[in-house]
Structure 1
Amino acid sequence: MSEPAYDDQNIFAKILRGELPCHKVFEDDGTLVFMDIMPRGPGHCLVIPKNPARNILDIAPEDYARVGKTVQRMARACKKAFAADGVTIQQFNESAGGQVVFHLHVHVIPRFEGVALLPPASKQGDADELKANAAKIAAAVD
């Protein structure tokens, strides 16, 4: 069974084109990192490829490698920026797998002992706090 085609009108494609705003953390030739507007915890950010990719099932291997490199970099920066005890990395594929936005994205979430994550899409983040957290993570990027 073939996968559905990439939809260039998805929200992350619009962010990449500058049609929608984001709180940018980091950008390089192949990836963009920005704050999740529905954070499950402080510092929750998203890593996306710049090239179109619906999810892990159709991304070009070299683009996935770039995403992986940036995810590792952001995990280290988030842990450092928030003095976190750990980091949760999440990535979902297709509706049955929990994917909601159909542009590959990886969640990077700083974690703290004994502190549960908020439920997905449960609370919109405060814009000023998201902006401050983006700057905090950006400052910790090696």
Structure 2
Amino acid sequence: MKKIFILSLTLFTLLSCSPDDETVDTTTILGTWKLISHSDTNPLPDCMKQTRIIFIEHGNLSGEIYEPNGENCDKTNLVASYEKETETSYTVIGSSTILAEVELESNKLIWTEKSSTKTRILNFIKVK
């Protein structure tokens, strides 16, 4: 009888625990992000699909930005810094100018650039 009780208690303990009981937030901006879409009316050109941004520790980021130029694909190297504003919001700064506001949603990153004439939104997914 004692063995049945211990077996039942063990079984009950194992079944009452679920993976949701210990949710760990693994959301982090650190890593490599790939451009997947943008807010312009035209589809994302193949050239721009090569764009990558890498968020590094200590508020640094780097990247390779690709833009179509006629039949060519121009690459611009990006070196900037970022500051955490809230749990999921960051400001990207390059040479004392705010380049973008960044929102983090799980493995998605929304990069918003604002100028005096327009707002451009770039959507990235985490690849590393």
- Alignment TM-score, normalising by the size of structure 1: 0.26
The structure that is helix-richer by fraction is 1
* Structure with higher RCO (Cα < 8 A, 6+ apart): 1
The structure that is strand-richer by fraction is 2
